[in-house]
């Protein structure tokens, strides 16, 4: 049996389940309660891969928020040698989609829906006044406009229904969000939800993109998987067949 204390330069013992995780080289879901050492094991798994596989080109470590990403990066920085750590990239899901899918492959996207994979991201502080004016001139619901201006944000999800991805909100009418999408197109903007959605369309419609990702990324780790939304789950399923 491998002496993981020596190999990974740690001063604590690993449980049988933790060692099993380190030994696996297939797609694996790890369920762990808070405080159980999930981040530590994730870090040690990355370290072991880098030690055992000198030809690894890129590992992507994705988490839900910038804070989670920073925590993972700090954990790896403490435990992984700097000459190996440059092969690991720490990203949010949105940053992953922008960097690996949307920006390099946006030219492949074709759609009759009117949505476009623009690179500039909507920010209410910068674009809020323009949005309010656009919605008023478009005849959007008055209460919806008030909700947007009061909260200074637009919260909505995109759900798959009857073969289509449609916007869903607990506070705003779907028609208002469609008008908001029109605003984004007119002003050559994109938001976080559309970053995910258009990235999904690109990889679904272009096997070349999956082949390109397969040549670039050797391993992918997704932290806080319970926070992944429907579209992100679809992206993950597509990436499970990276060979296209």
| Per-residue model confidence (pLDDT) at position 181 | 95
Q: Classify residue 54: in a domain, yes or no.
A: yes
Q: Classify residue 67: in a domain, yes or no.
A: yes
Q: Classify residue 206: in a domain, yes or no.
A: no
Last residue of a domain, one of 147, 169, 189: 189
Q: Classify residue 35: in a domain, yes or no.
A: yes
The CATH number of the domain where 46 resides is what? Answer: 3.40.50.300
Q: Token digits for 155?
A: 């919260």
Q: Classify residue 209: in a domain, yes or no.
A: no
Q: Token digits for 212?
A: 């390109």
* Claim to verify: residue 68 and residue 150 sit in the same structural domain: no
| Contacts (Cβ under 8 Å, ≥6 apart) of 87 | 50, 56, 57, 58, 59
| Per-residue model confidence (pLDDT) at position 113 | 66
| Per-residue model confidence (pLDDT) at position 147 | 97
Q: Classify residue 204: in a domain, yes or no.
A: no
* Claim to verify: residue 75 and residue 153 sit in the same structural domain: no
Report the candidate in 30, 22, 62, 17 with the shortest Cα–Cα distance to residue 46. Answer: 22
Q: Classify residue 194: in a domain, yes or no.
A: no
| Per-residue model confidence (pLDDT) at position 244 | 45
* Claim to verify: residue 88 and residue 139 sit in the same structural domain: no
How many domains is the chain built from?
2
Last residue of a domain, one of 174, 189, 204: 189
* Claim to verify: residue 140 and residue 84 sit in the same structural domain: no
CA-to-CA dists, residue 46 to 207, 222, 224, angstroms: 28, 12, 16
Report the candidate in 187, 188, 228, 242 with the shortest Cα–Cα distance to residue 62. Answer: 228
Q: Classify residue 147: in a domain, yes or no.
A: yes
Low-confidence ranges of the chain (pLDDT < 50): 243-244
- pTM (global) more than 0.95: no
| Per-residue model confidence (pLDDT) at position 67 | 93
Structural domain that includes position 74: 4-95+217-239
* Claim to verify: residue 88 and residue 151 sit in the same structural domain: no
| Contacts (Cβ under 8 Å, ≥6 apart) of 41 | 14, 18, 21, 22, 30, 32
Q: How many CB atoms lie within 10 A of CB 232?
A: 21
Beta strands in 65-171 (DSSP E): 88-92, 157-161, 164-168
């Amino acid at each position: 049996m491998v002496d993981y204390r020596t190999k990974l330069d740690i001063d604590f013992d690993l449980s049988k389940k933790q060692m099993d995780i380190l030994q696996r080289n297939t797609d694996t879901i790890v369920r762990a309660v808070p405080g159980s050492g999930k981040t530590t094991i994730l870090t040690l798994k990355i370290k072991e891969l880098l030690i055992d596989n000198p030809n690894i080109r890129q590992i992507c470590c994705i988490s839900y928020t910038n804070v989670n990403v920073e925590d993972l990066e700090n954990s790896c920085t403490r435990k992984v040698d700097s000459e190996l750590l440059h092969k690991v990239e720490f990203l949010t899901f949105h940053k992953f989609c922008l960097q690996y899918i949307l920006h390099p492959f946006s030219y492949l996207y074709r759609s009759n829906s009117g949505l476009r994979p623009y690179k500039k991201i909507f920010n209410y502080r910068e674009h809020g006044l323009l949005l309010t004016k656009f919605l008023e001139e478009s005849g959007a619901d008055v209460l919806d406009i008030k909700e947007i201006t009061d909260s200074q944000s637009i919260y909505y999800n995109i759900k798959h229904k009857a073969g289509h991805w449609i916007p869903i909100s607990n506070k705003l009418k779907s028609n208002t969000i469609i008008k908001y999408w029109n605003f984004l197109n007119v002003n050559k903007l994109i938001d976080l939800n559309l970053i995910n959605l258009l990235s999904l369309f690109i990889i679904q419609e272009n096997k070349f993109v999956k082949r390109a990702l397969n040549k670039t990324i050797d391993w992918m780790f997704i932290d806080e998987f319970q926070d992944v939304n429907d579209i992100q789950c679809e992206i993950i399923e597509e990436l499970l067949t990276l060979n296209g």
